[in-house]
Structure 1
Amino acid sequence: MKLLCSNTKNLKISTMNNNNEEFSIPINLCAQASQAAQFSLLVRPVNPRRQNIRALARFFPRLWGMDDIVTGWVVEHGRAQFLFPSNEAMNLVLKRGPWSFNQWMVAMDPWHLNVPNENPIMINLWVQIRDIPLQYLSVQMVNYIAETLGIVTVRATEATLGGNNEFGRVCIYWPLYQSLVFERNFLFGLDSATVTFHYKRLRNHCFRCKSLQHDVADCEIPEEEAANGHQDPEPEDDMIEELDLTSANNGHQRSEITSRSANPLHRPCILFSSSLTIFSRSS
């Protein structure tokens, strides 16, 4: 009995002394794991109180019509990871963003080596810039105003200006912790005007402080201290895009990926430099 206790004590000491020992992982196993993760997206819910991360990981592959080729699971730091069979399939999802879950937006970025734990923290938001005085409406003016909002990832070109255009459409790489801006005053020479910003496919946000990360019921800013009481615009028809991506369209989605396999896809805003188009209201 005494000998058994002595051996157990020695085993515990040996285990403690080996805590810092490094174990080598076979190189081929490391390469296999990296290969599997190279076409993957990290997704972060902007409002974890309203967005169950496990349900999100199960739901998105079905929403994309890729439930038989995309695998999703929960990873550390409040994120989900989705593995795609190809760069083409992954970029198809990014191109069709931004995405939402349970009526709240999600941040989404491709995985890469040594990605920070806090990533993704940005959302590609399509913004209509409206109410620029007609005498000042130009591609250059739209781009200038867009730059006051943040990082512009889709800009204007002269070729897109013409016809009965009433607003500019840009893509902004928006930090999820930054409050939305719905209007801003500009001085055009001696002429003052209020330019408004309409976010396409925007879901819920705080109508008091304009945060993307919480509902007004959870807002810590007193109502009387909230900014200028501006009323957010009514939701537009294209804000319900995700309802068009149900499992009933799975076959169409898969055939679209297959048919495009020989052609490069346009990357999403932050990954691919594209051009801004100026749209009329009928667009």
Structure 2
Amino acid sequence: MKEGESKAIWKRLFLRLCTVISVTVIDVFDGGRRFIAHSPTVILTMATTHRDALMYWSYSLELYIWQYRISRFFHTLNTILSKFLLQKYRRLITMADNLHRNLQELDLGVEDEPVALPLDVVNQAAAENRFIIIGRPVIPRRQNIRAIIAALPRQWGHAGLVHGRIVEGRRFQFVFPSEESMENVLRRGPWAFADRMLIMQRWSPLFNPLMLNFIPLWIQIRGIPLQYMNQDVIMHIGRAMGQYMDVDYNAETAVRVEYARVRVNWDVDLPLRFQKNFQFTPGVNTLLKFRYERLRGFCEVCGMLTHDSGSCLIQNGGMDHDSEDDDEDDNEEPLL
């Protein structure tokens, strides 16, 4: 082969190599949409031409990888910033709403002359609101008040007869047409919604708000030695557990002695206890077991009714956010 022909062949190979490399580099900066399709051609051409071309291809591949990593980094950063800004935006909206509410708490008009309402109108309103149950959810984040008001009358079989309304402080009320229907609902309690307990008490003008911390619970007591089974012993056990209300035991009519029943007004700020030692004889412990009737969700770690296991301070060492996430609007707008 002549020297001129050899130079022409090497010149054509060099031009072909430059063309392939140029197309490959363009593909890399074009987002890599055609990079994979050209890869075999690039590898084959470079392997048959010159070692430097293979090194150049490896640099191009490394450039593509870094481009992909940078793209993923900015995508993740954008997601994090979006969530952060959205959270800040919601907090600002909440602060603005609270500011608007506080502005309307001004005492403008307090010095004006009082307005006397007609007695017949007032008396009629009082008569219509004699039989009221007031309550609150134990976990507001999981128990929407509007849904509670819509669901419970149907559950009681009083749809269209019982009217619910939302009152401030994350509470609700149900107005009953008669005392009998109201007492029937209380007697069949306690009630739950969304598999979490509800606190419900009879309301009166002299109602003590602290009563909205107590749920009347029937408790089955198991393990009382037969020689100590009587009503007084059961009452003392009930008083040791909480605010004693009632006992369901009659030795003459009882056909089963597997357990005794006692009704206790349970403070929801106290953890449930399912076993406890009592001493019927000094120095001798007897383990009694308790079963709460109609009990729904509670924390399996500490026994509290006011949070779930995922929010338990003992298990997670974190704060309980259940009371912070409820919709503030549910506390003010009436639903009649």
Provide the C-alpha distance between the structure 2 equivalents of 1:166 and 1:121, rounded to a whole number of angstroms: 31
Please tell me the root mean square deviation across aligned C-alpha atoms, in Å.
Answer: 2.3
Query: What percentage of aligned pairs have identical amino acids?
Result: 36
Matches within 5 A, 1:52-91: 52-91=144-183
- 1:141 pairs, out of 233, 236, 251, with 233
Q: Secondary structure at the match of 2:126?
A: helix
Matches within 5 A, 1:210-229: 210-222=303-315
Deviation at 1:156, TM superposition (A): 4.9
Alignment partner, residue 202 of structure 1: 295
Structure 2 counterpart of 1:179, which letter?
P
Matches within 5 A, 1:186-265: 186-189=278-281, 190-222=283-315
Maintained 8 Å contact 2:133/2:173:
yes
Provide the C-alpha distance between the structure 2 equivalents of 1:153 and 1:118, rounded to a whole number of angstroms: 17
Higher helix share: 2
Number of positions where the alignment pairs a residue of Structure 1 with one of Structure 2: 210
Structure 2 counterpart of 1:204, which letter?
G
Tell me, which stretches of 5 or more residues in structure 2 are unaligned?
1-106, 318-336
1:29 counterpart = 2:121:
yes
Maintained 8 Å contact 2:310/2:316:
no
Alignment partner, residue 154 of structure 1: 246
TM-score, length-scaled by structure 1: 0.68
Higher strand share: 1
Alignment partner, residue 115 of structure 1: 207
Superposed CA offset, 1:137-160 (max 9, x none): 333222221110112211255545
Maintained 8 Å contact 1:138/1:161:
no
Alignment partner, residue 219 of structure 2: 127
Structure 1 pair 169/162, CA: closer, same or farther in 2 (3 Å)?
same
Alignment partner, residue 237 of structure 1: none
Structure 2 counterpart of 1:172, which letter?
V
Structure 1 pair 187/114, CA: closer, same or farther in 2 (3 Å)?
closer
Structure 1 pair 135/126, CA: closer, same or farther in 2 (3 Å)?
same
Alignment partner, residue 20 of structure 1: 111
Structure 2 counterpart of 1:69, which letter?
L
Q: Secondary structure at the match of 1:24?
A: coil
Structure 1 pair 181/17, CA: closer, same or farther in 2 (3 Å)?
closer
Maintained 8 Å contact 1:206/1:214:
yes
Provide the C-alpha distance between the structure 1 equivalents of 2:210 and 2:196, rounded to a whole number of angstroms: 19
Maintained 8 Å contact 2:309/2:315:
no
Tell me, which stretches of 5 or more residues in structure 1 are unaligned?
1-15, 225-283
Alignment partner, residue 132 of structure 2: 40
> Which of the pair has more CA radius of gyration?
2
Provide the C-alpha distance between the structure 1 equivalents of 2:261 and 2:210, rounded to a whole number of angstroms: 29
Structure 1 pair 53/186, CA: closer, same or farther in 2 (3 Å)?
same
Superposed CA offset, 1:214-252 (max 9, x none): 10111112479xxxxxxxxxxxxxxxxxxxxxxxxxxxx
Q: Secondary structure at the match of 1:144?
A: helix
TM-score, length-scaled by structure 2: 0.58
Deviation at 1:115, TM superposition (A): 2.6
Q: Secondary structure at the match of 2:241?
A: coil
User: Which structure exhibits the higher relative contact order, with contacts defined as CA atoms closer than 8 Å and separated by 6 or more residues?
Assistant: 1
Q: Secondary structure at the match of 1:20?
A: coil
Maintained 8 Å contact 2:249/2:261:
no
Provide the C-alpha distance between the structure 2 equivalents of 1:206 and 1:55, rounded to a whole number of angstroms: 23
